[in-house]
Amino acid sequence: MFFIAFENTKYNLYVVGEGPLKNEVLKNKNIKYLGFKSKKEIINLLKKSISLIFPSEWYEGFPMVLVETLSTGTPIITSDIGSQAEIVKDNYLGLHFIAGDFIDLRSKITEFFEKKDKTFYQNARDEYLEKYTPEKNYKKLIDIYKIFQKI
């Protein structure tokens, strides 16, 4: 229930998607529930966002939302586990918080807003351009195929 980190703060949180905690989210005045959105709508929201909160407590494989977020130049505040912690370099593309710890998440949100570090935004976009464009991924895939051709 990561949204508890936003209760009684001066920060607004916009929640996109469907889930069993919808009614809990709706109880908070500074949390806006947007519901299901198309991919195009999500990208437009990310472009306007200050940050994406990725509070997963699961070991995700390769969360596409992180790459989509980086493509918009939006920093990410993520839990400190699994691939999300590897993809989002702490204090470079955003911040890490202890998975499941809403007090630590709240402190990272406050830290993020107090830092007002504009380099996070440029770093996010640069990381996407350097590693995750379709062209870069195509090249990586072809390189993998070439390795297997030699075996």
The model's pLDDT over 30-46, given as tens digits with 9 standing for 90+, comes to 889 999 999 999 999 99
Can you give the pTM of this predicted structure? 0.90
Report helix angle 119-131 to 64-71, nearest 10: 120
For residues 18-27, give the mean pLDDT: 84
Distance CA 99, CA 13 (A): 18
In this prediction, residue 28 carries a pLDDT of 83
**Average confidence (pLDDT) over 145-150:** 89
Are the beta carbons of 37 and 16 closer than 8 angstroms?
A: yes
Average pLDDT in the 114-123 region?
92
pLDDT at 115: 87
- Angle among Cα 54, 59, 63 to the nearest 5 degrees reads 50
Which value, in Å, is the radius of gyration of the alpha carbons in the chain?
17
Q: What is the pLDDT of residue 122?
A: 97
Phi, psi of 3 (to 5 degrees): -65, -15
- pLDDT confidence band for 151 (50 / 70 / 90): confident
Classify each residue of 141-150 as buried b or exposed e, where b means 16 or more C-beta atoms within 10 Å of its C-beta.
eeeeeeeeee
- Give the C-alpha separation, 48 to 34, whole Å: 14
Is 80 exceeded by the pLDDT of residue 1?
Answer: no
* 33/89 Cα distance (integer angstroms): 28
pLDDT value at residue 109: 95
pLDDT, tens only, 46-105: 999 999 999 999 999 999 999 999 999 999 999 999 999 999 999 999 999 999 999 999
Q: Which CATH architecture has domain 2-150?
A: 3-Layer(aba) Sandwich (3.40)
Determine the average pLDDT of the residues in 121-135. 97
